[in-house]
Amino acid sequence: MNNKKIFILLPDGIGLRNFAFSNFHKIGEEKFDVTFWNNTPFNLTDFDFSEVKITNAKVHLASDVLKNAIIQSTLLLSKKDENDTVYDSYRFKPNTNGIKNKVKNFLVSVLIQLCTNRKGISFLRNYLNKLELTTAYFKTCKEQLILHKPEFVFCTNQRHLSALAPLLAAKELNIPTATFIFSWDNLPKATMVVETDFYFVWSDFMKNELLKYYPNIKEEQVKITGTPQFEFHFDEENYVSRDAFFAENGLDTNKKYICYSGDDITTCPDDERYLEDVTQAVANLNAKGNNIGIIFRRSPVDFLNRYNEILEKFKDIVVPIDPKWAKMGEEWNTVLPLKEDNTILVNTIRYSEMVINLGSSMVFDYTVFEKPCLYINYDVPNKKQEDWSVDKIYKFVHFRSMFSKNDVIWINEKSEIEERIELALETNSSIEGAKKWFEKINMQPANKASYRIWKEINTILNNE
């Protein structure tokens, strides 16, 4: 049987977990000839995947300036249209070190002044595309497409500049394209760099967001599928026994564990102090006769030593189980997941009673196993950054999708931590709200997203 060839474009390592290390590939191969168009440092042939390696993926010299101008202009336009200052929270301070960065920042500021309107943003996008069409990278991508003749190109995330040239090459050759909106918080942040024929989203909620922020996209271009991100939790191949997991990670089988899920330093500059507060509360609970431990799972992109002092001070309570990710470069998006991290994450959830963090999507991972999430909701004294606050974090647009404050258990003061942990151990009062929130954010059943993605691709190709 002559199966249709599908290129799965990995512009960076962000999509590896969802699309290479899940069952997505296996499901696709039942009907299609699936090849990864691979711009990551991983050799996917090591996993017996078919791949076409992208090399020398150099974008145009001016593309980064235009991308930043598009993002900033889009955020300013959203702020104006909605009369909502929350969009300023997504505008990070630019790097001002060195002449090169200062020139870039000046050019971005000029373009923002000229182009903060629908026509201006459209002009910037068109000009960015024109520049990418002139690159050797575009020419190479076009040659690869002509050689391998795929009938569809599916991009695994919408926000990386290196995805532009491959998608533009496909467009020039009349090959239909789609992109996957990678994360639940991406659309309000104006992270859409690429333009494709179709857009795959997690839910009706995300579809409405996409049409709101990008009115040029037509409703029929949007496909609701859910995300493969949570499918690992349903795959029993990832499950190991409690005794084996505890032995491998130095856990005490007599203890009940809670998971503290760390944030990166941008999201939470004082995260180590929150870990200390939680650990001290657990120490107090243990002094009252409890036997509780903490599994600390740091953010995969945080390699700083800021937790070391706390981990040493409370080593009888806190056991770090680090994510299995590989650091391939200095930027956050060059820290790439390894396949074995799926097993670590799934069993961390299975063998802990709850998760505590600051505003993480781990709430949904724990909801799959009907376990509660506690959100930290107070500022520590003498913060590292005076302009940072939990209030700023929870005002982000994606938190407005909550049905009520009861979807999680809130820790509003340091003094509440003990009580909230006891509440979560005794009752799971927040789980029904969390389930409804998860159903709103991600199409259910959550373990069938890969099937739905391939079904939509098949429908598109049959209608072409």
Residue ranges of domains in the chain: 5-59+135-227+446-463, 63-127, 232-441
**Residue 249, pLDDT above cutoff 50:** yes
What's residue 331's pLDDT?
A: 57
What's residue 301's pLDDT?
A: 83
Amino acid type, 75: L
8 beta partners: 36, 154
What's residue 94's pLDDT?
A: 84
Domains 5-59+135-227+446-463 and 232-441 share a fold: yes
**Residue 211, pLDDT above cutoff 80:** yes
Runs of H (alpha helix) within 288-430: 308-313, 341-350, 362-368, 390-394, 417-426
Is residue 2 very low, low, confident or very high in pLDDT (cuts 50, 70, 90)?
low
d(CA 117, CA 298): 40
Amino acid type, 88: D
pLDDT digits (tens, 9 = 90+) for 4-31: 999 999 998 888 999 999 999 999 999 9
pLDDT digits (tens, 9 = 90+) for 79-94: 999 999 999 999 988 8
Amino acid type, 33: D
pTM of structure: 0.95
CA separation, residue 170 to residues 1, 148, 259 (Å): 25, 12, 44
Percent of the chain with pLDDT over 90: 86
User: Does residue 399 contact residue 359 with C-beta atoms inside 8 Å?
Assistant: yes
CA separation, residue 372 to residues 84, 423, 436 (Å): 31, 10, 13
What's residue 463's pLDDT?
A: 86
CA separation, residue 462 to residues 152, 450, 454, 455, 457 (Å): 11, 18, 12, 11, 9
| 5-59+135-227+446-463 fold | Rossmann fold (3.40.50)
HSE-up of 459 (CA within 13 Å, CB side)?
13
Largest CA distance in the chain: 70
Mean pLDDT over each residue of the chain, to the nearest integer: 94
Q: Domain 232-441 is in which class?
A: alpha beta
Both tokens of 410, joined, read 């809130």
Is residue 1 very low, low, confident or very high in pLDDT (cuts 50, 70, 90)?
very low
Contacts of 170 (CB under 8 A, 6+ apart): 7, 145, 150, 153, 176, 177
HSE-up of 103 (CA within 13 Å, CB side)?
6
